[in-house]
Structure 1
Amino acid sequence: MSMTLNNRRTRIIHFIASYLFFSLFIIALSNPATALGKRSALVLYDEVTQDYGTSLVNILGHFYNEYDVNLINISKADLEEVKEVDALFLLATYFSFNYDINLIKVIGEREIQGNKITCLIGTPPWLKRSKTMKSFTYVSYKGNDYREGTYDLFPVDIDFDITLAKLHMGDKTDETPLIARRGNLWIIQGFPIFGIHSWILGDALHDILEVKHKDDKNVSLRLEDVNPSYSDRDIKNLEECIEYLHSENIPFFVVVYPVFIDRKSNKIITLAQNPKLISVLKKAEKMGGNIVMHGVTHQHQYMEVSGEGSEFWDMIEDKPLYNEVEFFNERISYGLKIFKEAGLNPLFFEAPHYNLSLNLQFELSKYFSTLLGSVLISDRTYRISQSFPFLIYKSYSGLMVIPEQLGYISVDDISGSISSIKEKALKLKNIVRDPMACFFYHPFVNGVVPLKELISFFINEGFSFVNISSYVQPPKALTIDTSSSKPIEDITKIGRKPIYIGKTFATFSIASSILFFLIYLKILKKRKRRLFEIDKPS
């Protein structure tokens, strides 16, 4: 009898254990972060801080292998999720007043807990702070001072345990923390998403999120704006750069747009019409070069010559193009067809002048997984773009981003621009523990000469040139069927036809119509007066 009871108990215990194990397994599968051993991060924003929320998600994309990040409007936040998430980032301004008292209470509870990361960014109105706005022009980090524009905020009045970065006016008599911790609560004053402030934030996030990355100093190089208009001399300069980089075992990007348009001379040149250039580009692929698709024509309806226009952003009206998705897909499909017919394999994409709306960043994932350069964080203006100090493994739009922050070797000032690149690179190296530095160069400028100085500099400073293609999967662009793409004649029409009636044109049309109407009334009045004079009895 007792044996029977023992057996029954054993079976029940085994059943309960199996059930619990199975339940935990199902929960893990339903939560990718748990299944992959990742932690969870939540970014809360309001109507005032939405763009900052997007930019923070972009920066947190550097920690994609460690954290799954979710972006939610604070009005839709679930308090239980806020309470349980591993890392909470809340963005607020001095003018944000719509915060639930229960949310603030949960934040206070999280601060007491020792195993949760809580970070307040901006100027949360419930924190004690100065009522006077102050402007700071210097930031101190890791023992170095950097002058970086004006940084305005209402400083908090809190005693901190640890301060990672400080803001000051140069003489250090009036200081306030930029990034600091009190207990388990991190506070980042203001929104440091641009320039050196963003580099400091990016590096400090390693400490805030408790993530250890290797202190690797990486750099990448782009040979920029290669196109079918290249003359024999330009091609020779490009080839010299490629052969030199290969001899030094330096991987590189060749950034190409496959159609050149000059409307003044009614000239249209495609890659197929420049077989010498195609041959050198194929040589580049064999010598450590990765081809980058740089739009299709690098110009738009207002721009006459390729290389001058954004192509996928209206620079006159400063807004996304009308019917932008259809326009984008037509252009990309045709451009890929040209590359394929030339036997070239673009692995990455770079938007002309980095201008690609948020909507088109999502659309780009149909073709490429990786974007080069800076990214727009708002569809309101192209003037708000975000650059990064390191590789972004997953941006807000789901793309890997290979940043550029050092600038380029200028045609007008080769020596000065080289000095500027060196200066920025040293700052980046001193601030960020795992930077991905990047600069670019137009090879038609002066061949290989300016490159040699910079290559030696980066190697001597301990940077490693990396082959980014090893980080990514082959893009969908290589396998997409482009046989039904529109011919060049239609692409030209798309470039010439007014895609929409802009505000400037509409205003001009209305004003012209009113003017013509007034002139017509005046003429009509004169005619009536003449008729009246003719009909008068003599």
Structure 2
Amino acid sequence: MGTLILYDTTGAWGWLGEQYAMQAANLASRFGTWQARPGSTYTAGQLAGYAAVIYIGSTYDEQVPTAFLTDVLAGTRPVVWMYNNIWQLTAQSPAFPTTYGWNWSGFDTSTVGAVRYKGTDLTRYTGNAAGIMDYAAVDTTRATVLAEAVRGDGTRFPWALRARNLTYIGEIPFAYADMTDRYLSVADVLFDVLAPQTPTRHRALVRIEDVGPDADPAELRAIADYLSSARVPFSVTVYPRYVDANGTYNNGVAQDYSLAARPDVVSALRYMTQRGGTLIMHGWTHQFSNAANPYSGASADDFEFFRAHVDAQDNVVYDGPVPGDSQAWATSRINGAAAAFTAAGLAVPTVFEFPHYAASAPDYAAARTKFPRRYDRGLYFRNQLAGGTVDHTKYGGQFFPYPVTDIHGSFVIPENIGNVEPAAFNNHPARLPADLIDAARRNLVVRDGYASMSYHPYLGVDYLRQTVEGVRALGYSFIAASAV
């Protein structure tokens, strides 16, 4: 029957309602079909046509249709209600506090840096001052507290609770989410609502990242030897053409060569596949033209399918589609990459990953047409649900703790615990194996979830070994991307 997703649209920040709805839809796709529409369009009885409904109250006091309030209170379908306008539901039923066992009291704007779920503290960005709903009373004989917000002084109050058919989450869980965030609790709560019989299992993935014709064959072989000895299947993302358009790494002399010109690298890639590796197409050149996009114009440094720059505060800022962008242009890049794999005597991969996880809506359409699967995190743009011209200036990114079919229409293999970065860059802190292992530990709250990492071969084997062993010790089983 699928999931109905309703979202707010009014106010100065009304466009965020659609953004949150896209993220909810992506997660809901794990469980089947969905439809998303503005809440204002709801008509009486619609809820009966769906297995469940998710309402995202992103706009304070946006009018919720009385028909929807009535249908929610009828209790015939599970409802997940996020954040605002719950007062309209309670006003519709004077008996709500006794029927459901709780009543709201107002937003608590205390500093909250954690949400405790299943005994695990999930992180929350403390700068998020939007407030979390607090409660006048909670009767725990009628309502179950699913998660608690933990204030800076250690005191707690309900963050999410369930009574009868209603699951209420006291804030928008998609705002400021990161890899260890309270967002993970919502990803798991959806199992209760949409697939309660799902058994618990925890699987892990390893992806070797940014391998091009300029790679060191010895490093690739060493990585393959370790993972094979540890019985860990893995993927290898390959851009098959190396371009240093400005000679940044060659004394000012431009370079441009493909895999066929580097037989030692091709041999190493074959060696990797013989030891459990699967090749993934990672763009064609992993850079764009001779532009600093945002760094150097050299492969693996830069974005290929999106424009970006580094601002005065050392942040990478996304600028939008590249000049000349279109679905046909993106398809030509993919075709160029495929020809380079073929020229090197390698099979063309059947999975695609966008360089630096960034592309335009037409580029995602090109990937969907050419590949049955992507293996990345996506960007999602204004008007992709609402219709009309896609606005690439308003967007959000999302990672997934399990596979989804995202709103671009692609099956997406998850990558959700990040990669090792020994040094800080662009205002991002260093990330060492302990950080990835910690992210995997928190992801255990997702009952059928993944710990999926990427790793650069130039870092050597030691960091990789530490991470693999730490994740495995948590109870994860490593599988191949093809098994997702």
TM-score by length of 2: 0.80
Q: How many Å apart are 1:172 and its aligned residue?
A: 4.4
Residue pair 1:155, 1:176 contacting (<8 A) in 2 also: no
Q: Distance in 2 between matches of 1:455 and 1:131?
A: 45
Which of 109, 120, 128 pairs up with 2:81?
120
Separation in structure 1 between the aligned mates of residue 125 and residue 339 of structure 2, nearest angstrom: 45
Contact 2:224 2:272 in 1 (8 A): yes
CA contact (8 A) 1:83 1:107 kept: no
Corresponding residue number in structure 2 for 1:29: none
Matched residue SS, 2:169: strand
How far off is 1:206 after superposition? 1.2
The alpha carbon displacement at 1:52 in A equals 0.4
CA RMSD of the aligned region, Å? Answer: 2.4
Relative distance call for 1:236 and 1:443 in structure 2 (3 A) is same
Which of 436, 442, 451 is 2:464 aligned to? 451
Secondary structure of 1:179's counterpart equals strand
For residue 249 of structure 1, what is the aligned residue in structure 2?
231
Name the structure 1 match of 2:60: 95
Aligned to 1:208: 193
Q: Percent identity?
A: 25
Report the secondary structure of 1:217's partner residue. strand
Alignment partner of 1:470 is 2:458 = no
Corresponding residue for residue 107 of structure 1: 72
Q: Which residue of 1 aligns with 2:341?
A: 339
Partner SS for 1:426: helix
Pick one of 432, 439, 452 that aligns with 1:417.
432
Change (3 A) 1:132 1:254: closer
The CA deviation at 1:132 is: 5.0
- The CA deviation at 1:55 is 0.2
Distance in 2 between the 1:202 and 1:57 partners? 11
Measured after TM superposition, the shift of residue 253 of structure 1 is 0.6
Q: Report Cα offsets for 1:462-504 as digits up to 9, x if no partner.
A: 2111012134xxxxxxxxxxxxxxxxxxxxxxxxxxxxxxxxx
SS at match of 1:155: strand
Aligned residue among 407, 416, 419 for 1:408: 419
Q: Give the deviation of 1:345 after TM superposition.
A: 3.0
Contact 2:106 2:135 in 1 (8 A): no
SS at match of 1:365: helix
- Residue 446 (structure 2) aligns with: 432
Per the TM alignment, residue 213 of structure 1 is displaced from its structure 2 partner at its CA by 2.2
Q: CA 1:363 to 1:224, structure 2 compared with 1: closer, same or farther past 3 Å?
A: same
Task: Give matches, 1:459-498, under 5 Å.
Answer: 459-471=472-484
Alignment correspondent of 2:321: 320
**What's 2:121 paired with?**
145
**1:527-538 pair list within 5 angstroms:** none
Return the alpha-carbon distance in structure 1 between the equivalents of residues 61 and 380 of structure 2.
21
1:284 equivalent to 2:272? Answer: yes
Which of residues 161, 167, 170 is equivalent to 1:186? Answer: 167
Query: Are positions 1:269 and 2:251 aligned together?
Result: no
For residue 197 of structure 2, what is the amino acid of its counterpart? K
**Aligned letter for 1:118?**
V
Contact in 1 for aligned 2:207/2:455 (Cα 8 Å) = yes
Q: How much does 1:280 deviate?
A: 1.6
The answer to whether 1:372 aligns with 2:375 is: yes
Q: How many residues align?
A: 419
SS state at 1:280 partner:
helix
Unaligned regions of 5+ residues in structure 2, if any? 91-103, 247-252, 310-317, 382-390
Is this contact kept in 2: 1:290–1:347, CA < 8 A? no
SS of equivalent residue, structure 2 residue 198? coil
Structure 1 position 298, deviation (Å): 0.9
Contact 2:42 2:67 survives alignment (8 Å): no
Q: Deviations over 1:121-143 (max 9, x none)?
A: 23126256555551422211112
Which structure would you say has the larger Rg? 1
CA contact 1:282–1:344 (8 Å) conserved in 2? no
**Shift in CA distance, 133/319, structure 1 to aligned 2, threshold 3 Å:** farther
Per-residue CA deviation, residues 43-87 of structure 1 (Å, 9 max, x unaligned), is 1123221000000011112223xxx21222334444332243220
Runs of 5+ unmatched residues, structure 1: 1-38, 472-538
1:436-469 per-residue CA deviation (whole Å, 9 max, x = no partner) reads 11122211232x2332222222333221110121
1:527 is matched with which residue?
none
Secondary structure in 1 matching 2:448: coil
Is 2:292 the counterpart of 1:294? Answer: no
Q: Determine if contact 1:390/1:403 at 8 Å carries over to the other structure.
A: yes
Classify the secondary structure of the residue corresponding to 2:173.
Answer: coil
Deviation, 1:247, is 2.6
Letter of the aligned partner of 2:49 in structure 1? E
Q: Go from structure 1 to structure 2 and tell me whether the alpha carbon gap of 1:245 and 1:210 turns closer, same or farther (over 3 Å shift).
A: closer
The structure that is strand-richer by fraction is 2
Structure-2 change in CA distance of 1:40 and 1:382 (3 Å): closer
Paired AA for residue 131 in structure 2: L
How much does 1:410 deviate? 2.4
CA contact (8 A) 1:312 1:324 kept: no
Residues 123 and 244 of structure 1: is their aligned pair in 2 closer, same or farther, counting only changes over 3 Å? same
Is 1:357 the counterpart of 2:322 in the alignment? Answer: no
Letter of the aligned partner of 1:371 in structure 2? R
User: Structure 1 residues 412, 433: CA separation in 2 closer, same or farther (over 3 Å shift)?
Assistant: same
In the alignment, which residue of structure 1 is the partner of 2:28? 60
- 1:501 matched to which residue of 2? none
Is the CA contact 1:127–1:156 (under 8 Å) kept in the aligned structure 2?
no
Structure 1 residue 424 displacement after superposition: 1.6
Q: How far apart are 1:100 and its partner, in Å?
A: 2.5
Higher fraction of helix? 1
What residue is the counterpart of 1:391 in the other structure?
A: 403
Contact 2:205-2:479 within 8 A present in 1 as well? yes
TM-score scaled by length of structure 1:
0.72
Q: Structure 2 CA distance, aligned partners of 1:167 and 1:236?
A: 49
1:98 & 1:381 partners in 2: Cα distance?
28
Query: Equivalents in 2 of 1:179, 1:357: separation in Å?
Result: 35
Q: Tell me, yes or no, if structure 1 residue 306 matches structure 2 residue 299.
A: yes
Whole-Å separation in 2 of the counterparts to 1:419 and 1:328: 37
* Secondary structure at the counterpart of residue 34 of structure 2: strand
> Counterparts in 2 of 1:501-512, with a 5 A limit?
none
Q: Deviations over 1:397-448 (max 9, x none)?
A: 222222222222225489961121122222222x2222211122211232x2
Matched residue, 1:21? none
**Distance (Å, rounded) in 1 between the aligned partners of 2:192 and 2:54:** 14
| Equivalent-residue separation in structure 2 for 1:191 and 1:381 (angstroms) | 21
In 1, Cα distance between the equivalents of 2:304 and 2:395?
A: 16
Query: 1:198 deviation in Å?
Result: 1.4
3-state DSSP of counterpart to 2:283: coil
Task: Return the letter of the residue paired with 2:196.
Answer: V
